[in-house]
A and B are shown apart, each in its own frame.
Chain A
Amino acid sequence: MEQDIFVQCKGISIGYKERSKASSVVKSEISLKALKGEMVALVGGNGIGKSTLLKTVAGFQPPLSGDLLIHSQSVADYNSEELARELSFVSTEIVRVAHLTVREMVGLGRYPYTNWFGKLNNHDEEIIDKAIREAGLSGFENRSINRISDGERQRAMIARALAQDTRIMVLDEPTAFLDISNKYEIVRILHQLVNEYEKCIIFSTHDLHTAISMADRIWLMLNEKVVEGTPEEIAAKGYFESLFPNNHHLIFDAAKGDFNIRKEYRGVVKLSASGPELIVITKALERLNFEVLPVSPDETSSGFPSVTQSLRPSVSPSPDITVVQSADVWILSYSGICMEIESVEDLCRQVKQITIQPKS
């Protein structure tokens, strides 16, 4: 199993060496690993040191202390060319070079294998073709990298890393600035590389949803420590909740695997409906800052629901509103008053009036 551990951080500190005084440590005591055939998502808030960690793992800057092992060998024992054959890197930096075609740029990935003048042989050309195909860029070979979209350019950068033919790939926010379609395309390509070639791919992202649904392992950078585990383990231990300790407006929704904005609800509406109406009414009420809860079965069976005290007295002082659908008629009940409503618009108007009344 030892040879399956591709990247291992043993209590490393990351940061920058400063000449004048002591080095400035960004984070210390980091112990993480990444295995063969794993997709590792690095998650953390802005400015917590994700890029610094990735740059350290990629060998750009040495760890200030501790051991960083690539294939069980200290990263310091690799020379630059040996490391480049084991690990490739895709940065957030946008490369703008006029008169450089996609193919020429991907060809630069063969750098650690070519001779002093960078001459590509037939074997190199085959690998370049394959990398372009796998990144879904067939037909773009002769386009200038300045004349393609951001998503295509990002895929071209990934193709360049593929041409480098390494077992480990490190990507710094590969999906930043991309629209949904391009974002999922990048994630799909990375996922395929992991499945097909058992590469070890480490990428940082702000998209928690992608991280939780696609990654085999999550490296989570919190303020006080760095933890790792499968998405399920991290969620179960409640680490996601401590990702943004200073922001009380965010709540982690474990079911969705993403954060939601915590709202100051005006009140609770209990809703009994099904089908498309359920979604439409829920959305409309949520937009009005009402918490929508399902009506419990005993309430619906009575036909005329009894007024229940608010389950969350701290949230809202106003009593619950209940909306029940019976046959073709919608009935809104509130403090013992029942009324029939005609449309979603009507419902919204009534609900608003009810919640304003207690103040006047």
Chain B
Amino acid sequence: MKKEAKISVLDFWFLKGKGFFLLFLILVLFFIIDLLVGSVPISLFQSFSTLFHPASADPQIASILFQFRIPKAITAITAGAALSVAGLQMQTVFRNPIAGPDILGISSGASLGVALFVLSVGWIFKGLPLFSVAGSWGIVLAAWTGAGCMMFLIVLIASRLRDLMTVLIIGILISSAVLAVVSVLQYFSSDYSLKSFIVWTMGSLGGTTRDQLWVLVPSVLAGLVMAFFSSKFLDAFLLGEDYAKSMGMNLRHAYILTFASTSILAGSITAFCGPIAFVGIIVPHLARRLFHSSLHSRLIPGTMLLGAIVMLIGDLISQLPGYETTLPINSVTSLLGIPIIIWIIFKNKKMGAL
């Protein structure tokens, strides 16, 4: 009797946790590969000896690993997890299979926030160090505000127009308008602030400094914790707003929690890595297929892990192993992502199902 019980508990744990465990192993694997690949290849042995005995290691390799590769890999994991969970939340709340932070303009809202912040700070203070920790917090707060405002606008539009396609099209239009405002702003800015803004827009996974990571990682962790706490709300949203209300969901609390989480996640990544398209749309679909579930208690951790893996793969491809140059990460995710999105649209022609 005892033995049987033990086996069933183990089975139970495996059934529930197998997927997550496997994904976690794959994540660790790609994390290590990401440390090794680049313009200067590092062997597995070298990297381990440097990691565990930094004192006796080749200082050049140590500097590459600690100053560049590890921050970049951590940024990739953070960005992948954050954008994917943000996309998942938006797809569920708007009940729209191709909603995502980039397509509905949340990322452009964050860009506008950052542009206003960088340009106005440059104008007022004439030389506040934007790349300090204080400056990073300023940028991130501006991005959250911009993303949050965009989110609010999209919710207003979506509550007026029930049609999924119309909401998407308007989201794309507003997104373009916001980006146009950003380019107009650049005309009216001083040389100094323009320079810092251009540096920011060229941001990529590798552009994040170790100081910025101390802002980025806690922000994203906060957003992810909020996402975990919104999983029951999101489950109810699956059936639509009316059913969610009839099951006793407090609509206002649900909206505030999920949208704050989405704004923080998408805003933080846009603030430090610039726009990274399509990851947020695709990964939730992959997670639903893999876990055969739409319930968020499983989907949120699944989407996090998958998003991190997808982003590491994207980063590996952008490194172009064997070449000196790297591709911009946004181009890689777009080239990989767009065919998958077309496939998603073809798969559910009615646009009704998540």
A contact set with B: CB distance below 8 Å: 55, 58-60, 80-85, 87-89, 91, 93, 95-100, 104-105, 108-109, 111-112, 114, 116-119, 146, 164
Contact = CB atoms under 8 A, between A and B. Distances in A.
Given A93-B240, A96-B352, A118-B232, A80 B249 contact: yes
Contacts of B251: 80
Nearest to A92: B242
Contact of A109 (B247, B289, B350, B352): B247
B65 interface: no
Contact of A60 (B236, B238, B242, B248): B242
A81 B248 contact: yes
Interface string B295-326: 10100000000000000000000000000000
Contact of A85 (B236, B248, B294): B248
Interface of B: 228-229, 231-232, 235-236, 238-240, 242-243, 245-251, 288-289, 291-295, 297, 348, 350, 352-354
A116 B246 contact: no
A108 B235 contact: yes
Contact of A58 (B246, B293, B295, B354): B246
B154 to A, nearest CB: 20
A100 B297 contact: no
B246 A89 contact: yes
Given A83-B248, A84-B248, A104-B294, A97 B232 contact: no
Given A104-B295, A118-B231, A88 B352 contact: no
B293 A104 contact: yes
Nearest to A164: B247
B232 A111 contact: yes
Given A88-B247, A89-B243, A99-B291, 15 more contacts: A60-B245, A82-B248, A84-B247, A91-B240, A91-B246, A96-B353, A97-B239, A97-B294, A97-B353, A98-B288, A98-B354, A99-B292, A104-B294, A111-B236, A164-B247
Nearest to B92: A97
A162 B89 CA distance: 28
A85 B243 CA distance: 14
B232 A117 contact: yes
State the 7 A-B residue pairs at the shortest beta-carbon distance, nearest first.
A84-B248, A89-B246, A118-B232, A112-B248, A111-B247, A81-B248, A100-B294
B229 A116 contact: yes
A283 to B, nearest CB: 42
Contacts of B289: 99
